Amino acid sequence: MSLPPHVARFTGGIHPMDGKGLSNGIPARTAPLLEKYLVPLHQNIGAPPKLTVTKGELVKKGQRIAEPGGFVSVPLHAPTSGTVGNLTEVPGVAGNTLQAVEILSDGKDEWGSGLDPIVPWQEADRKVLKQRVADGGIIGMGGAAFPAHVKLSPPPEKTIDTLIVNGAECEPYLTADHRLMLERTEAVLEGAAIAARILDVDRIFVGIEENKPDAVEAMKKAAGAFGIQIVPLPVRYPQGAEKQLIFAITGRAVATGGLPMDVGCVVQNAGTCAAIRDAVVEGHPLIERYTTVTGTPVVHPGTWIFRVGTPVKEALKLAGGVREQPAKLILGGPMMGFAQSSMDVTVTKNTSGILLLAGGETGRYLSSPCIRCGRCVSVCPMRLLPGPISVMVECENYALAEHNFVMDCMECGACTFVCPAKRPLVQHFRRAKAEINAIRRARKKH
Amino acid sequence: MSTTFLAAVCVVGIIGLILGCLIAFTAKKFDVEADPKVEKVRELLPGANCGGCGFAGCADLADAIVNRGINPSRCTAISAEALKDLSAFLGVAAEEKEKMTAVVFCGGSLSRAARKAQYNGIMDCRSANVAGGGGKACAYGCIGYGCCARACPFGAIEMRDGLAVVHPEVCRGCGKCVTVCPRNLIRLVPASVKIHVYCSSADKPAARRKVCSAACISCGKCIRADGQGRVEKQENGTVRINCENPPDISLAETAGCPTGALQTEEAHRAIRPISPKETQK
């Protein structure tokens, strides 16, 4: 065990109103069983899973209903026991349309995942554990939805010496990881220990923002048994961004275009760790998650344990509905989440929050030309020049934008948050990244 | 006083003379010989640098015409008279070429297409496309923020009621708009075809109807009314006029298209906002 690390301060960052008080004191409640779940097939980054069940087939809770579509893909599991219904379509989070399969509950909620618990996992083979993570359908539950087993499979030439568990939860309003770390402390820590065993590392850190003192306390109490260090982090958005978290805890900076594994680190979300533990110790695949339903228009904000495939409408009903007409529905947090145009979206494996904003909390902005105040530059955690890059994108000079490292932008939204000219900077960068990726793909083909 | 004045004039004058000689010398010494023929051809070309010919602008095409024997009709944007002048100057006959025009295959103007959201972002289709796809509900239709209209070097595309409409008499068929449309709605078709099915949705017909009152619902009425295979159903369910063998424009009336997706080019261009009452019908 190394000494407690010195917490480094990353460049930039902002302090948005956190809004966590709405829901952070309320224990998570398990959502009652629904009659029907709509499970979108493509919830992960990478290849979409292939459906293996047909309409009318009987499935058990946790039974595999879709095979992974490649290495960077995960299987899907039935959220409850019942029959397979129609193959329909639901709106995706990013405004796209996703294929979804209906699972009609039989009310018995019987387990039948076909995965045996691996106990004691301390003696199990690493490959077996890694395969279990893949079989559990586990993806990054902080929002990125990257398959967890891929992150746990670094190429042999990279030496990994540190596992970092991301419990920062720097997004305003969200309290799902907070409640998870309070209520399932041991599960998070045990999952982290399993992930560390898969990676063969003994340096494990859990980074938690200081605005969750009760979670820090609870985790500290239990961490000793697992040889894990808890690192309280200063409250600053985006403290929970992968590269910023690594820098804060280890002092190592990931080079441009690089990955955490280049500096010997692997970062997993706290929720992902708990899911890894459930898959290994209980044999339960990822079919439910902690999700915060919050916002001032919500009658009873709080954190819920939802099955994957729960329609957002039902989720809001559980939270007592709304007390006033909301102006905006966001899946995820207000900084990096996606505003929705339809209430038909469903809770997926990476839905960390369902946020409603009232009319006064959001508005229509008219953007104006950059006044070169430089505020975006001072808050950018990646040390980019958001203002100038946005002008390059406006002029469609993608080569220049690429030269100015637009691809390093993680779309945290800090620049857009502070921009006095209300410029939609992140949208510019997202477009630039899409265009540059298209150019790169075209170049590869030739 | 006068000597100071004279001295200044002399000094400046001498410096000017020396520099002038230097410029004259370098101009002669480092002169790049330009082919006057290429210059003249470049002058005769439209000068829009639209890239429709496949060359990097008009100067590049002029060079190719003079030195590589490319036919002047390669220029898509050139007018008939200018082409006549150009071929007379070059002494070659211009190849006969069918005039092409761009068509936006969507009829979802703001008053016809359903809306899903209030879009508050960059007013550019390609930017909107990476942020949920703008305000209209149809995932296949015209986003309506006019990136094709801005890309057109000839000003042939007009945004009418939130829909891009091409004016074929202005359009020179360079195809610049085709490349910028993020929804791939624009295609170049022979300008002689004056009737089209203005819908590109690959959704299920019922879903199309839900999001747009001008959607083609793939009912097949026009295909049956024509009966000669001049209107075709495509693989993704959309219906298209066969541009190689187009039907007469009277088909727009005889087919009785229930949604008005099948329209003559003229009727399509005369888009007017429909009153809410009419939309409810």
Decide if A434 touches B, using CB distance below 8 A. yes
Domain count, chain A: 1
Residue B171, in any domain of the structure: yes
Residue of B nearest to A424 (CA): B121
How many other C-beta atoms can be found within 10 angstroms of the C-beta atom of residue A360? Answer: 9
Q: Does the pLDDT value for residue A1 go beyond 50? A: no
* B132/A434 touch (CB, cutoff 8 Å), yes or no: no
Determine the Cα angle at A437 with ends A432 and A442, to 5°. 125
Q: For residues A175 and A386, give the distance between their C-alpha atoms in angstroms, rounded to a whole number.
A: 29
Q: For residues A242 and A268, give the distance between their C-alpha atoms in angstroms, rounded to a whole number.
A: 9
Residue A85, in any domain of the structure: no
Please, how many CA atoms are within 13 Å of residue A444, restricted to the half-sphere of its CB? Answer: 6
DSSP A244-273: HHHHHHH---PPTT--GGGGTEEEEEHHHH
Q: Which of B178, B110, B195 is nearest to B144 (CA)?
A: B110
Domain end position, chosen among B70, B90, B110: B90
What pLDDT is attached to residue A394?
A: 92
- In 3-state terms, what secondary structure has residue A344? coil
What pLDDT is attached to residue A4?
A: 52
Q: Are B153 and B54 found together in one domain?
A: no
Q: For residues A331 and A318, give the distance between their C-alpha atoms in angstroms, rounded to a whole number.
A: 16
Q: Does the pLDDT value for residue A214 go beyond 90? A: yes
Share of chain A above pLDDT 70, in %: 99
* B122/A427 touch (CB, cutoff 8 Å), yes or no: yes
Q: For residues B169 and B191, give the distance between their C-alpha atoms in angstroms, rounded to a whole number.
A: 9
Structure-token match 């850190």, residue found? A205
What pLDDT is attached to residue B236?
A: 81
What pLDDT is attached to residue A73?
A: 94
What pLDDT is attached to residue B275?
A: 55
Low-confidence ranges of chain B (pLDDT < 70): 1, 272-281
Instruction: State the residue range of the domain holding A405.
Output: 375-445
Which helix (DSSP H) or strand (DSSP E) does residue A294 occupy? strand A288-294
The model's confidence at residue A273, banded by pLDDT at 50, 70 and 90, is very high
Q: Are B201 and B253 found together in one domain?
A: yes
Q: Print the SS3 string covering B14-62.
A: HHHHHHHHHHHHHHHHCCCCCCHHHHHHHHHCCCCCCCCCCCCCHHHHH
User: In CATH, what number is assigned to the domain containing residue B234?
Assistant: 3.30.70.20
Domain count, chain B: 2
Mark out chain B residues that contact chain A at CB-CB < 8 A. Answer: 116-118, 120-122, 126-127, 130-133, 137, 139
Instruction: State the residue range of the domain holding B163.
Output: 100-280
Average pLDDT, chain B: 89
Q: For residues A407 and A401, give the distance between their C-alpha atoms in angstroms, rounded to a whole number.
A: 8
Residue A358, in any domain of the structure: no
Residue B271, in any domain of the structure: yes
Decide if A362 touches B, using CB distance below 8 A. no
Q: For residues B83 and A77, give the distance between their C-alpha atoms in angstroms, rounded to a whole number.
A: 66
**DSSP annotation of A320:** T
What ipTM score was computed for the predicted complex, to two decimals?
Answer: 0.84
Q: What is the tens place of the pLDDT at every residue in A184-198?
A: 999 999 999 999 999
Residue A392, in any domain of the structure: yes
Decide if A95 touches B, using CB distance below 8 A. yes
Q: Which amino acid is at B206?
A: A
Structure-token match 């065990």, residue found? A1
Whether the ω angle into residue A120 lies within 30 degrees of 0, i.e. cis, is yes
Beta bridge pairs of residue A313: none
User: In CATH, what number is assigned to the domain containing residue B46?
Assistant: 1.10.15.40
- In 3-state terms, what secondary structure has residue A380? coil
Decide if A178 touches B, using CB distance below 8 A. no
What pLDDT is attached to residue B270?
A: 83
Q: Are B141 and B78 found together in one domain?
A: no
Average pLDDT, chain A: 93
**DSSP annotation of B212:** B
CB-CB contact of A274 with A282 (8 Å):
no
Residue B140, in any domain of the structure: yes
Rounded to a whole number of angstroms, the distance from the CA of B132 to the nearest CA of chain A is 4
Q: Are B51 and B146 found together in one domain?
A: no
Q: Which of A345-354, A356-365, B265-274 has the lowest mean pLDDT?
A: B265-274
Q: What is the tens place of the pLDDT at every residue in A225-243?
A: 999 999 999 999 999 999 9
Residue B44, in any domain of the structure: yes
Q: For residues A104 and A81, give the distance between their C-alpha atoms in angstroms, rounded to a whole number.
A: 8
CB-CB contact of A263 with A250 (8 Å):
yes
Share of chain A above pLDDT 90, in %: 89
* B139/A364 touch (CB, cutoff 8 Å), yes or no: no
Q: Are B186 and B222 found together in one domain?
A: yes
Residue B130, in any domain of the structure: yes
What pLDDT is attached to residue B199?
A: 93
